Homo-oligomer: A and B are copies of this chain.
Amino acid sequence: MGVIKVHGAAMSTAAQRVFTCLYEKELNFEFVPVDMASGEHKKEAYLSLNPFGQVPALEHGGQKIFESRAITQYIAMEYPEKGTRLASADKPSSSFLIWKEVEAHQFDPVASKLTWEIVLKPMFGMTIDPTMVEEYKAKLAKVLDVYEARLTKSKYLASDSFTLVDMHHLPTINLLMRTQVKQLFNARPRVSAWVADITARPAWTKVLAMQKVNFYPFIILSQIV
């Protein structure tokens, strides 16, 4: 099927989802850095890869794929037998379907909002809105209460195996665990054990090693704004 090319930025949380997936699958890939500081992701060449002008974008066997969660599902299905089995080879279980949507619609909107307030605003010298922080910490606490109960039933969110569902959480959890918000994770024993487990995976360690601090603030900002 030819070379796998990932266009993106090492510090983009969405690109990190894709890198993690490729490392889990033990697939070689070519990383094509997108110079977001100069607005390369909003120029014509990049827009032909992703018309929404966001990183990452994947090229593989003549196909152009965007949206990080579409890319990870594509990779998992193209290479079911390689590396970690991140999704069922045939019909997905109902719990896989449910918890994949929970990450996208319950966890990520809240976690991304907190990341913006607590991690990114200070980097840009912007003022944190304490009301917003408290509101979203309360929302995240409710989500994590559901996760704590869920993790009494299976070791990972969708099943007893690590899947795309857990993997999709990694980049945002990584940022939040460096802030005051880590208390919300640590206060819940099963959530805390799950976070320790998934962040210790070799694939994730490789993604962290890709990061260079130079363009950190700008690249994440472009991603979110």
Contact = CB atoms under 8 A, between A and B. Distances in A.
Interface string A112-156: 000000000000000000000000000000010010011000000
Interface in A93-115: 94, 97-98, 100-102, 104-106, 109
Given A65-B97, A70-B97, A102-B67, A77 B92 contact: yes
Contacts of A179: none
Contacts of A149: 51
A70 B146 contact: no
A77 B94 CA distance: 10
Interface in A1-22: none
Interface in A141-175: 143, 146, 149-150
- Interface size of A as a range: 20 to 34
Give the number of copies in the complex.
Answer: 2
A110 to B, nearest CB: 11
A188 interface: no
A63 B94 contact: yes
Interface string A41-81: 00000000001100000000001011101100110010000
A132 to B, nearest CB: 15
A91 interface: yes
A179 to B, nearest CB: 23
Contacts of A102: 52, 67
A146 B53 CA distance: 11
A50 B149 CA distance: 12
Contacts of A100: 70
Nearest to A142: B52
Given A51-B146, A52-B146, A146-B51, A94 B70 contact: yes
B69 A101 contact: yes
Contacts of A63: 94
A98 B98 CA distance: 19
